[in-house]
Amino acid sequence: MKRLLLGCVVLALAIPVAAQKPVIFDVSNVVMGAQRIPTLWLLAEGKWSDAGDHVGPGSTQIQCYKSLGFCNVANAIEVFGTASVNLGSFDILRWDSNEIIAVHCEHSTG
């Protein structure tokens, strides 16, 4: 369920629905890294609509870099009183003025 939800994250950010209103939503031109790579950057922070009452309003943060072709996602969770963070990444397939389409990265170990 979470993979499917994360797989749809960018679409949900491109056209926010009532239950998925981000606390922060910014798209800016920035310069990245030591190589000073110019890129369009998206920052969104909020809460998944199905996260439950025990999760704070800023429990998920997404950063996308158009020129680099990927998004990073950090999702804070609480399980049996212990807090942790799930990290993930997405490859950007398309980014235009209306939407961002990205797929979850599957990293193989060998």
Per-residue pLDDT band at 97 (split at 50, 70, 90): confident
Taking the C-alpha atoms of residue 93 and residue 32, their distance in angstroms, rounded to an integer, is: 20
pLDDT of residue 36: 94
Task: Give the mean pLDDT of the chain.
Answer: 76
pLDDT of residue 9: 47
pLDDT of residue 69: 93
Instruction: Name residues whose C-beta falls within 8 Å of residue 107's C-beta, 6 or more positions apart in sequence.
Output: none
pLDDT of residue 89: 92
Contacts of the segment 93-102: beta carbons below 8 A, 24+ positions apart? 95/40, 95/64, 95/66, 98/14, 98/15, 99/10, 99/11, 99/14, 99/15, 100/10, 100/11, 100/13, 100/14, 100/42, 100/64, 100/71, 101/10, 101/11, 102/9, 102/10, 102/64, 102/70, 102/71
pTM of the full predicted structure? 0.68
pLDDT of residue 91: 94
23-72 tens-digit pLDDT: 788 899 999 889 999 999 999 888 766 666 666 677 888 999 999 999 99
Q: What is the mean pLDDT of residues 7-32?
A: 63
66-76 tens-digit pLDDT: 999 999 999 88
